[in-house]
Chain A
Amino acid sequence: MQEARKIRVLAAKPGLDGHDRGIKVICAALRDAGMEVIYTGLRQTPEQIVAAAIQEDVDVIAMSCLSGAHGYLFPRVMEILKNKNIEDVLVLGGGIIPDEDIPALKQAGIAEIFTPGTDTGDIIKYIRENVKKN
């Protein structure tokens, strides 16, 4: 696996949720692991997230939602990506997400869902192993 270019990650908070402790911790951990991380800040619409991902030419979108709105927001991001024929971005989700909601999110194209208690090392490993762009 060649890492000529640093892995670029867009960390995003879709919707109105203000819980950003988790995403900020992940930003810091990914940066410490040598990735380039762009954090959108709070209250991003799915459209804004995709636009930022294109503009920043990222390899990964990592979204966090703790308000229970993931069932609408995560698939909406995937829908917009598909409409724009973007298929080489790895999309991850995290937050308070009940187990029973996970199959539908994966069905929509979210590669993996990380729930509370996840070790940041596991997320780093997952990204390194699954990033689609070279």
Chain B
Amino acid sequence: MDDLQKLQELKAKYEAQVEKVLKKMPERKAEFATTSGIPVARVYTPLDMQDFDYIEKLGMPGQYPFTRAVQPTAYRGRYWTMRQYAGFGSAEETNERYHFLLKSGQTGLSVAFDLPTQIGYDSDHPLAQGEVGKVGVAIDSLWDIERLFQGIPLEQVSTSMTINSPCAVILAMYLAVAEKQGVPFDKLRGTVQNDILKEYPARGTYIFAPRPSMRLITDIFAYCTENVPQWNTISISGYHIREAGSTAVQEVAFTLANGIAYVEAAIQAGLKVDEFGPRLSFFFNSHLDFFEEIAKFRAARRLWAKIMKERFGAADPRSQMLRFHTQTAGCSLTAQQPLNNIMRTAYEALAAVLGGTQSLHTNSFDEALALPSELAVQVALRTQQVIAHETAVCDTVDPIAGSYFIENLTDQIEAKAQEYIDQIDKMGGAVAAIEKGFIQKEIADSAYRYQKEIESGERTIVGLNKFQVAEEEKPKDLLKVDPAVADRQIARLKELKSTRDNGAVQQALAELKTAAAGDANLMPPILKAVKALATLGEVCDTLRAVFGEYEAAAA
């Protein structure tokens, strides 16, 4: 008490001193705030932490509420998984990039699919024109997935796949490749994104409406719990919500609200929270507001642990742990002076590491211009390796804990995210909030506000609205997708359809249709269909015939 009193006196003296200084030299801004609008004080002291209960708020690493880390030794045991999202053109070209990345020291694979694949169209569909192989690899059938993983023993890598609406189909294809390689399913490690709810407000690769989509998701939970026990069955993603323009607080809130919706759906489908809970994983953005980002990761961990324990009664600590992948913020990259993006990405990556990420993708400096070139990808991966091996930030667990500012921010982000979650609960949960357009509007408003801040000069982006150069040299050697890839995919589809047993395909699709109309788990009939060489488009069309398609309300 004496100490606090002394501190109060000290602070009063400090305030008087500040007043004098301000008269001579005002501060840069009248008010300082994080990107989420949380006010940032001039200085934080123990006076800001008088109610701070260490055991309740932080505890020890690897213990509830996991604020400090999900794993007791964190990076002292093992660094995060360095996982670069990659895929373009054909399965062969992407397979070559994977071998390059694995040789460069990458420790996990992350598959980017092209848009037709993500929306369940084969490469010969009219809507696929111009898109085949562009933002990822084109996959039409088991043949393509086999080529994609050629020479990569699936029991030795962990594979993350960014696939949502047709997730069950791609996962089934992966399982079929494992079977061919002779790898038992319980040896497979990896993650499927499988997070449909963020597709409606943010990413856009939906096929079906939310409710049938939720069934496909819970079918995957149930199937994997029994058959692919090491697989992360969902990656509940705030990344794209943030890219679409949300603030850090909104990113946490909307992501965890979606998480709550998945847990509720799984429980309703008859699963037990501690059966599927340990396999839920998350995916966050790491943006430029350095301390806010670090605090965001810690707040998300604490909030999810509480939700799982208190709201859903999860008893297994693994169900309470929020494990997450991070990608640096694509939306923070500029096309102007693109080499500056290397520094942006490095700070964002450092925030993710200080926030305790389990795996990390660092963006390439040329991504505001084109798909990343090999050199740019290598620099991005090296950025992670420098943090891991040279900066020594990994040698103690959660090194920023106890910072008056960080703990204050962590508390505020948690509280503000909780307010949003309460508001979404009142609307009837995340699905209802999306159907009402609430989440879409919140994100769009934040995005517009951010843009206006840049245009008014209130927010400085180096090289964009300050420190510009008149004539700048753009990087050369941008990656170009071979335009012939679509023709090759279409030719391959023709070959597939003329050589496979079409009777078996029709039979398998008919069985799938029946299952979809009922309530059986859809994974077994989908697996059977892809093994019979049904295409992705055929399987998705079968489901479309039963579930219909989602149509977004016009804005």
Contacts and interface: CB of A to CB of B under 8 A. Distances in A.
Given A18-B203, A20-B204, A120-B455, A69 B134 contact: yes
Contacts of A15: 115, 127, 130-131
A41 B455 contact: no
A21 B335 contact: no
Quick one: which of B116, B130, B444, B552 has the most chain A CB within 10 A? B130
Contact of A119 (B131, B205, B371, B455): B455
Contact of A17 (B115, B245, B335, B448): B115
A21 B131 contact: no
Given A16-B115, A67-B134, A42 B204 contact: yes
B49 interface: no
A71 interface: yes
B455 A121 contact: yes
Contact of B554 (A17, A29, A39, A45): A39
Contacts of B554: 39-41
Contacts of B514: none
A45 B131 CA distance: 12
Contacts of A42: 204, 552
Contact of B130 (A71, A96, A115, A121): A71
A70 to B, nearest CB: 8
B447 A25 contact: yes
Interface in B443-457: 444, 447-448, 451, 455
A24 B245 CA distance: 10
B370 interface: yes
A121 B452 CA distance: 10
A71 B482 CA distance: 13
Interface string B219-263: 000000000000000000000000111000000000000000000
B131 A67 contact: yes
A18 B334 CA distance: 20
B116 A116 contact: no
B243 A72 contact: no
A41 B555 contact: yes
Nearest to B129: A72
B16 to A, nearest CB: 44
Nearest to B118: A16
Interface of B is mostly: loop
B219 to A, nearest CB: 24
Contacts of A25: 245, 444, 447-448, 451
Given A16-B115, A39-B554, A41-B555, A28 B444 contact: yes
Contacts of A39: 554-555
B412 interface: no
Nearest to B121: A16
A96 B127 contact: no
A15 B244 CA distance: 18
Contact of A116 (B334, B455, B478): B334
A129 B410 CA distance: 49
Interface string B121-141: 100001111110011000000
Given A72-B129, A116-B335, A116-B368, A41 B552 contact: yes
A21 B130 CA distance: 21
Contacts of B371: 68
Interface size grouping (class) on chain B: 35 or more
Nearest to B368: A116
Interface string A34-50: 00000111110100000
B374 interface: no
B183 interface: no
B335 A24 contact: no
A87 B500 CA distance: 49
Contact of B244 (A17, A20, A41, A115): A20
Interface in B291-331: 331
A91 to B, nearest CB: 17
Given A15-B115, A68-B481, A99-B474, A24 B444 contact: yes
B464 A96 contact: no
B490 interface: no
A96 B368 contact: yes
A3 to B, nearest CB: 23
Contacts of A96: 368-370
B199 A117 contact: no
A130 B552 CA distance: 32
B455 A16 contact: no
A72 B205 CA distance: 20
A127 interface: no
A72 B455 contact: no
Interface in B175-229: 199, 202-205
A60 interface: no
Contacts of B335: 115-117
A45 B478 contact: no
A16 B116 contact: yes
A18 B199 contact: yes
Interface of A: 15-21, 24-25, 27-29, 39-43, 45, 67-73, 76, 96, 98-99, 115-117, 119-121
28 contacts: A16-B116, A16-B127, A17-B131, A18-B204, A18-B205, A21-B447, A24-B555, A25-B444, A25-B447, A25-B448, A28-B448, A29-B451, A39-B554, A42-B204, A43-B127, A45-B126, A67-B115, A67-B134, A67-B135, A68-B134, A68-B370, A72-B129, A96-B370, A116-B368, A117-B334, A117-B335, A117-B368, A120-B455
What are the nearest 7 A-B pairs in CB distance? A18-B204, A72-B130, A69-B130, A16-B115, A68-B134, A116-B335, A28-B448
